[in-house]
Amino acid sequence: MTTRTADAVIVGAGVLGASVASHLARSGHRVLVLDRGAPGREGSGTTAGNLHMQAVHTKRPGQAVPLDSARFLPLQRAASDRWETLEEELETSVEVRRTGGFTIAETDEQCRELHDKHGWEAAAGIPTEILDGDAARAALPLLGPTVAAATWCDLDGYANPLKVTPAYLDSAARHGGRTLAFAPVRRITRNGDGWRVVAGHGAAERVVDTPVVVDVAGPWLGEIAAMAGITLRMTPVAIQMHATVRSSATMSHLVQHIGEGLSVKQVAAGNLLIGGGWPALSMDLAGRSGTSLDSLVGNVALAVRVLPFIRDLRLLRMWAGPLAATPDEMPVIGEVPGAPGFYVAGGTYAFTFAPLWGETLRCLIEGKPPPVDISDLGPGRLMVPAGGSARDNGLEQENPQDRRSKRC
Amino acid sequence: MTAERSAALHGEVVERDVVIVGGGPAGLSAAARLASAGLAVTILDEQPELGGQYYRRPAPAVAEQWGDHRPDGGRLIARVRAAGAECRTGHLVWGVDDDGRTLLASDAAGHPVRLRARHLVLATGAFERVFPFPGWQLPGVTTPGFAQHLAAGDHTTIGERVVLAGSGPFLLPVACSLIELGVTVVGIAEAGRPYRPSLRALGALGHPARLRELAGYVARLARARVPIWQETVVLRADGRDRVSSVTLAAAARPARPVRTVEVDALCVGYGFRPQTDLARMLGCAVRVDVASGDAVPVTDAAGRASRADVYVVGEAAGIGGVHAAKARGLAAAHDILTREVRETVPVAEVRRVASARRRLARFTALTDSLYPGPAALLATLAPALPADTMVCRCEAVRAEEIRATAAGSADGDLNATKAWSRAGMGPCQGRECGFAVAGLVRSVAPRPGAGDGESRVEVFPSRLPVRPIPLATLLELAGPDSQEGDRS
Ligand SMILES: Cc1cc2nc3c(=O)[nH]c(=O)nc-3n(C[C@H](O)[C@H](O)[C@H](O)COP(=O)(O)OP(=O)(O)OC[C@H]3O[C@@H](n4cnc5c(N)ncnc54)[C@H](O)[C@@H]3O)c2cc1C
Ligand SMILES: Cc1cc2nc3c(=O)[nH]c(=O)nc-3n(C[C@H](O)[C@H](O)[C@H](O)COP(=O)(O)OP(=O)(O)OC[C@H]3O[C@@H](n4cnc5c(N)ncnc54)[C@H](O)[C@@H]3O)c2cc1C
């Protein structure tokens, strides 16, 4: 149990932890990434891996507050640029496919939303094009008859999540960064101007002194912050994904829905991945979250309605994964007020944002101006004063089961 | 609230006293006993006929010409039907509903069926334990079980000159069946050294029927002059359009060739692995069997799992052969009848079954001790597997990719290795390659994930669906609107 030092300790080897580790290591910092399990197995290993460049549908099924698209889009624009050069930066393929995507609408109301969305996108410099149903079907004949309109965006895409996190960690390792798997962080205490982090158990226990702690523990972000005496309002939820066997039909674009939980794409191997934020049956932050038949059936019915050819495929498997949402559904990133050297980053769509947030955190840690304005996204807005609990502050611990409420 | 949602799903819901999954010797024995006591019993099997592996029914034309190779199976099936059990063949049980107890099945036409019962009996049997080698994708290379099915069900031979390899007692009856069909069994390569002169003596000793049966097969093979090469394993298979030769190696030195044999078929299998997906999906506790490395459900003597309404019987609860499977099925039936208090099972009957079960368990332990434990075998075979051997055939993942992933950031974690290498992610869902992938992971990263119990269970997690199912089946569950492709 010797004490080691590091320039930064990163708690969580998900895509955000891996990205910031790579950014810091590449600019010469000695970083140590700690994970309680194998790296990239939680949100970042179960994610759909979509690169959301046009506006994301503003509400997942059951989500309480809509996302502020107008504020979110400039960030998406900035993230998009970084995905463009990521493979070069990481010196390996992570199956980035920027083949564009459709967001479809079926009802009049959804068509109106599509037009609003188009306006925000134009303002943020994200090029989208509005197509009526027939034009959308002409562009993608696999779309079904209920599609009334769609936006098309060249920049949409996806990457293989099973490759992105390892590639970032490898990049960090090439620059001297270290990753310790199966080393759960258990204690974080003030140590002079910096922090002392204790991870692992028994003979495998590690004690590390560091000026910088980066809390990127996804759904456990709040739990890690609490170790340092910081109470943050975060809501972990679990959602699920569905994969079909390989299909010979080719669909190279991402297809999403403006009003309902749906995202469909065909991955490099030929399988179709169907998701859209449908709730898992249960969330189990200690093990594997359970999948729900109702969500499966609902998600598949929607997918088949929009893309009828899917009807002839077989379901290969399904899984659930956890993600951390903030009460306002916006990302959280920044240094914790009153806790110098303690940074947090997370929130939904962190896969899309991983390259941008890795760079942003590096800038913040180095005291340089970040590439995008994040002044309103800091953890301050989520902090609960000492002595208060999340519940006292009006945060409803939402029961994942309640998320079933909204359906087609 | 869950029940409410589920009620909104379409498709029939069958309510029974007992639902039995698996129509092999174990499930049939339980069904016959329970139905004859008057309980409402449904037995399901994904195969078109009841019988399971051991009592697999011959095709009608074959039965007419060659007779039934296992008439006792036919009699047992007839008893189940006569006792009034509802038999649903062609029904795949592929998952569990959100309430955690309703089974999801699809019938032969792909229509969904949901079943609920006070007692669930899982008699899902086993699947063959395979281990890859260079050339195992060649046509003509199969498992002993497949060769046996062809022989028993279709009276068809797998080839004319065949080598059987692997480990375990099952290689012997398969060899005998092939010989009966006129096949030249060129030899049997057994990874262990079970066949000593003492075997026959052993068999005579305490009347262990199974050992005597084995000794009988050995004698028949000796008469047919079939060599048994002990402590021998397959190094590789060669051929152009089909396997034409097999090269064998000493088990202790699995990378060095000792002999090459001309064949037109090769059957390799290392015994069986319990099929436990459904038990695990229902949340039944499993333990790791140290000798086999398999996860086996934790059950009491009657087969009752950690969940009081679930029984796991037959090979699904641990490999033990047909007689043990039947005894376990009956023991579960007795336990259910006692709990239902509709009938007190005669003490003598309970005693007879319990003592048969204990005796068979002892024999199983004895025969098992003759053969190398699969976990130990894996530890010698996995490191010797050439780097470019295709281990996961569905996803085309080679041994070296699995090793690199396991030793790299997956850090010895089986599931992380699966996710990152794609081994086990294809349509067979890891049933074929799971054993080998676990061995490869262990061989390069011996430290299992820092000591938590779950990560020592060397099997891929059980996920719905148990086998790939048509999305059309799900649409039917969603209701008629979704099927027509209209707005719901
Ligand atoms: C099913 C699903 C679909 C999604 N689809 C998309 C999508 O299409 N596009 C998109 O942009 N986003 C998507 N998301 C969201 C996105 O995947 C996640 O926001 C993102 O991967 C989270 O990354 P992370 O690094 O913040 O957290 P995670 O990947 O969850 O990583 C957190 C890590 O912290 C570790 N940790 C926890 N406690 C400790 C401890 N005590 N000590 C050490 N380590 C600890 C965990 O083991 C874990 O590895 C999806 C999420 C899910 C679940
Ligand atoms: C390929 C193979 C061939 C074998 N051949 C022989 C042999 O020739 N001689 C011998 O002594 N032993 C043989 N065995 C061993 C044999 O399995 C046992 O001795 C005996 O059959 C075990 O009986 P059981 O009832 O436990 O399982 P099984 O006989 O295996 O029966 C299990 C049944 O469950 C059904 N099932 C499984 N999962 C599902 C599901 N999800 N939904 C619906 N149905 C399901 C299967 O279709 C099967 O019919 C063989 C085993 C295998 C795997």
The residue among A406 and B430 whose pLDDT is bigger is B430
Cα–Cα distance measured from residue B444 to residue B421, given in angstroms and rounded to the nearest whole number: 15
Residue A3 has pLDDT above 90, yes or no: no
Contacting residues of B for A308, CB less than 8 Å apart: 485
Work out the burial of residue B239: count CB atoms within 10 Å of its CB; fewer than 13 is exposed, 13-18 middle, 19 or more buried: middle
Contacting residues of B for A181, CB less than 8 Å apart: 409, 411, 413, 449
Contacting residues of A for B485, CB less than 8 Å apart: 144-146, 304-305, 308, 311
The tokens for A42 are: 């939680």
pLDDT digits (tens, 9 = 90+) for B299-337: 999 999 999 999 999 999 999 889 999 999 999 999 999
Q: Single out the residue of A121, A44, A56, A108 nearest to residue A276, CA to CA.
A: A56
Cα–ligand 1 centroid distance for A322 (angstroms): 7
Work out the burial of residue B411: count CB atoms within 10 Å of its CB; fewer than 13 is exposed, 13-18 middle, 19 or more buried: buried
Subunit contact B422:A269, Cβ cutoff 8 A: yes
pLDDT digits (tens, 9 = 90+) for A295-311: 999 999 999 999 999 99
Residues whose CB falls within 8 Å of the CB of residue B372, separated by 6 or more in sequence, listed in order: B167, B191, B192, B251
pLDDT at B212: 77
Residue A200 at interface with chain B, using a CB cutoff of 8 Å: yes
pLDDT digits (tens, 9 = 90+) for B275-306: 999 999 999 999 988 888 899 999 999 999 99
> pLDDT class for A45, splitting at 50, 70, 90?
very high
Other Cβ atoms within 10 Å of B219 Cβ, number: 11
Q: Single out the residue of A16, A373, A10 nearest to residue A213, CA to CA.
A: A10
Q: Which ligand is nearest to the CA of B318?
A: 2
Pairing of strands B265-269, B161-166: parallel
> pLDDT class for B436, splitting at 50, 70, 90?
very high
pLDDT digits (tens, 9 = 90+) for A255-291: 999 999 999 999 988 999 999 999 999 999 988 899 9
pLDDT at B449: 45
Whether the Cβ atoms of residue B77 and residue B50 lie closer than 8 Å to each other: yes
pLDDT digits (tens, 9 = 90+) for B381-391: 999 999 999 99
Atom in ligand 2 nearest the alpha carbon of residue B328: 26
Other Cβ atoms within 10 Å of B10 Cβ, number: 17
Atom in ligand 1 nearest the alpha carbon of residue A17: 25
> pLDDT class for B199, splitting at 50, 70, 90?
low
Residue A405 has pLDDT above 60, yes or no: no
Q: Single out the residue of B163, B156, B164, B215 nearest to residue B180, CA to CA.
A: B156
Q: Given phi > 0 = left and psi -120 to 50 = alpha, else beta, which region is B254?
A: alpha
Residue B350 has pLDDT above 90, yes or no: no
List of E strands, B251-323: 257-262, 265-269, 272-274, 286-288, 295-297, 310-312
Three-state DSSP class for A184? Answer: coil
pLDDT digits (tens, 9 = 90+) for A15-33: 999 999 999 999 999 999 9
What is the value of ipTM here, to two decimals?
Answer: 0.89
Residue with tokens 């941008």: A356
Cα–Cα distance measured from residue A306 to residue A294, given in angstroms and rounded to the nearest whole number: 19
pLDDT at B139: 96
Subunit contact A37:B413, Cβ cutoff 8 A: yes
Whether the Cβ atoms of residue B427 and residue A316 lie closer than 8 Å to each other: yes
The DSSP result for A129-159, as a single string, is: EEEEHHHHHHH-TTS-TT--EEEEETT-EE-
The DSSP result for A275-333, as a single string, is: ES-PBPS---TTSPPPP-HHHHHHHHHHHHHHSGGGGGSEEEEEEEEEEEE-TTSS-EE
The tokens for B388 are: 């470019």
pTM of the model: 0.92
pLDDT digits (tens, 9 = 90+) for A116-130: 999 999 999 999 999
pLDDT at B56: 86
Whether the Cβ atoms of residue B406 and residue B325 lie closer than 8 Å to each other: no
User: How far from A14 is each of A184, A219, A238, B118, CA to CA, in Å?
Assistant: 13, 11, 16, 43
For residue A38, give the chain B residue with the closest CA. Answer: B410
Cα–Cα distance measured from residue A140 to residue A102, given in angstroms and rounded to the nearest whole number: 9
For residue B4, give the chain A residue with the closest CA. Answer: A294
Residue among A314, A318, A319, A401 with most chain B CBs within 10 A, to mutate: A314
Subunit contact B411:A181, Cβ cutoff 8 A: yes
pLDDT at A114: 94
B329 to chain A nearest CA, in Å?
30
Cα–Cα distance measured from residue A287 to residue A281, given in angstroms and rounded to the nearest whole number: 14
Three-state DSSP class for A214? Answer: strand
pLDDT digits (tens, 9 = 90+) for A331-382: 999 999 999 999 999 998 999 999 999 999 999 999 999 999 999 999 999 9
Residue B478 at interface with chain A, using a CB cutoff of 8 Å: yes
Q: Single out the residue of A20, A19, A16 nearest to residue A8, CA to CA.
A: A20
Judge if the upstream peptide bond of residue B465 is cis by omega within 30 degrees of 0.
Answer: yes
Q: Which of B54, B57, B128 to mutate to test the pocket of ligand 2 (most atoms within 8 A of CB)?
A: B54
B120 to chain A nearest CA, in Å?
20
- B22 Cβ closer than 6 Å to some ligand 2 atom: yes
pLDDT digits (tens, 9 = 90+) for B110-168: 999 999 999 999 999 999 999 999 999 999 999 999 999 999 888 899 999 999 999 99
